């Protein structure tokens, strides 16, 4: 175990926005033992504060499902893989043809663009920061889209994914990370968490066989398959569980911490 790669939401972070004390201790013990840590998330860079505030993490983070690498300490972009604006608008047209009620948003390197109605909660912090408007009006050639989002209010995310993914596969890679809301996340074709994690590990001279990865949703599948030791959360999506070689206990039981404690103990590391 030379590198631990972990998803955030549903894996180490709960709906209350908290990382458990036990999980924090386990990550600190890994770091103290010389094990590299990297977090691999669908979140954009602006939503990484739990890592800084609760874990004290200052390293690089793989964001937006592999489309972005962000340096937390320097607070700067390291690299990005982006969708062209015309690609985004064409994908929107195709999805709209399949599901006329679909609404859309685009995560860019400089902000967030969302259509009216994309967010139902009028008290959302996003609505306080970004004004809804048609994407054709707000996206410009200067924008670099790292993640394109599509949402519908009926059906399941799995059914929405099954319908949309094959229709836009020539334009974008499609996945989802929501347990209940039918929202899809589209990135540049060939971009996923595994691709960027493999590059990150390779730059450190670490092979997949020495990587322990944790995740819980379809956007983690490629990463869990790539890592030499991929653990899906017992509380995770059935497809993620099938894809992983191993299973971590339920999120509510500090599953990631349990696995790390056992693996550190096997290496002779003792901690309280």
Mean pLDDT of 14-34: 95
Mean pLDDT of 2-13: 97
Q: Where are the beta strands (DSSP E) in 109-210?
A: 112-114, 145-152, 173-175, 182-187
> What is the end-to-end Cα distance of the chain in Å, rounded?
20
Give DSSP secondary structure letters for 199-241: HHHHHTT--GGGEEEEE-SGGGHHHHHHSTEEEEETTS-HHHH
Quick check: 272 pLDDT over 70? Answer: no
CA distances to 12, 51, 54, 166, 217 from 8, rounded to whole Å, are: 5, 9, 12, 28, 11
What DSSP state is assigned to residue 44? -
What pLDDT score was predicted for residue 180?
Answer: 86
What pLDDT score was predicted for residue 269?
Answer: 80
Q: At what angle are helices 85-98 and 157-168 packed, to 10 degrees?
A: 120
What does the mean pLDDT of the chain come to?
94
Q: What tens digit of pLDDT does each residue of 26-79 get?
A: 999 999 999 999 999 999 998 999 999 999 999 999 999 999 999 999 999 999
| Tokens found for residue 210 | 């020495």
What DSSP state is assigned to residue 140? -
Q: What tens digit of pLDDT does each residue of 223-241 get?
A: 999 999 999 999 999 999 9
Q: What tens digit of pLDDT does each residue of 117-143 get?
A: 998 776 567 766 788 999 999 998 888
Say if residues 54 and 19 touch (Cβ distance below 8 Å). Answer: yes
CA 159 to CA 148: how far, in whole Å? 18
What pLDDT score was predicted for residue 129?
Answer: 74
Classify residue 190 as left (phi > 0), alpha (psi -120 to 50) or beta: left
| Tokens found for residue 7 | 């998803």
CA 174 to CA 188: how far, in whole Å? 9
Give the predicted TM-score (pTM) of the model: 0.95
């Amino acid at each position: 175990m030379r590198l631990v790669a972990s998803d955030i939401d549903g894996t180490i972070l709960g709906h209350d926005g908290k990382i458990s004390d036990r999980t924090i201790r386990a990550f600190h013990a890994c770091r103290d033992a010389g094990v590299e840590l990297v977090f691999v998330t669908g979140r954009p860079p602006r939503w990484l504060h739990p890592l800084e505030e609760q874990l004290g993490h200052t390293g690089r983070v793989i964001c937006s499902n592999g489309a972005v690498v962000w340096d937390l300490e320097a607070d700067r972009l390291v690299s990005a893989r982006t969708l062209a604006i015309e690609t985004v608008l064409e994908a929107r047209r195709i999805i709209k043809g399949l599901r006329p009620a679909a609404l859309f948003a685009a995560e860019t390197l400089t902000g967030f663009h969302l259509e009216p109605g994309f967010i139902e909660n009028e008290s959302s912090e996003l609505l306080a920061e970004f004004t809804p408007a048609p994407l054709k009006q707000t996206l410009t050639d200067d924008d670099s889209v790292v993640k394109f989002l599509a949402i519908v209010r009926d059906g399941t995310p799995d059914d929405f994914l099954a319908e949309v993914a094959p229709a836009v596969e020539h334009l974008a890679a499609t996945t989802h990370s929501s347990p209940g809301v039918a929202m899809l996340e589209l990135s540049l074709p060939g971009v996923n968490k595994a691709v960027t994690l493999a590059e990150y590990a390779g730059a450190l001279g670490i092979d997949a066989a020495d990587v322990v990865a944790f995740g819980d949703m379809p956007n983690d599948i490629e990463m869990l398959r790539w890592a030499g030791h991929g653990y899906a959360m017992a509380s995770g999506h059935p497809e993620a569980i099938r894809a992983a070689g191993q299973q971590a206990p339920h999120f509510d039981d500090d599953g990631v911490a349990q696995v790390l404690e056992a693996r550190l103990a096997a290496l002779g590391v003792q901690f309280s």
